[in-house]
Amino acid sequence: MTPAQLQRIEDELDVPLPAEYRATMLDYPFADDGLARLVLLPDDPQRVIELNVGSEAHGIAMPFFVGSNGGEVAWFVDAQAPATGVRELDLASGRHRPVAPDWAGFLAHLRATIAQAAREERQREAALPPASTKRPWWRFWT
């Protein structure tokens, strides 16, 4: 992201962006693999704004949502106390719990998530039959 894009997020959400988030987004640490950029830690200002509009976390005065696992969990920091770490919100129950004690720990968590997704993809590909053994769907015999 650019400084102007980060300023747009602050202006539209009326939330001060934590310094570590700002630094990460200015020098985005993940490859253009889609998973991180689109879901885990979106680098699109509009996506970040959409994550935050109408979102809340019980007991946190100023949650700033930074990403999600693409399903039932969203990650946020307390914009008033970013040093308290990153928390994950269970979207079904509304409960939240710590996921990382600090921003560096959260980035490590994301790297582990990306690595796990890559391992699972390789396992799925390895389980597929070789292309030479694939037959048309109507050929059950041979």
pLDDT tens digits, 32-84: 767 888 899 999 999 999 999 988 899 998 999 999 998 899 999 999 998 89
Q: How many CB atoms lie within 10 A of CB 126?
A: 7
* pLDDT average, residue stretch 85-91: 95
Assess if residue 60 is contained within a domain: yes
pLDDT tens digits, 4-45: 999 999 999 999 999 999 999 999 999 876 788 889 999 999
CA atoms within 13 A on the CB side of 94: 6
Assess if residue 18 is contained within a domain: yes
Asked if 15 and 62 count as a contact pair (C-beta separation under 8 A), the reply is yes
The predicted structure's pLDDT at residue 67: 96
Assess if residue 134 is contained within a domain: no
CATH number at residue 94: 3.40.1580.10
Confidence (pTM): 0.83
Assess if residue 132 is contained within a domain: no
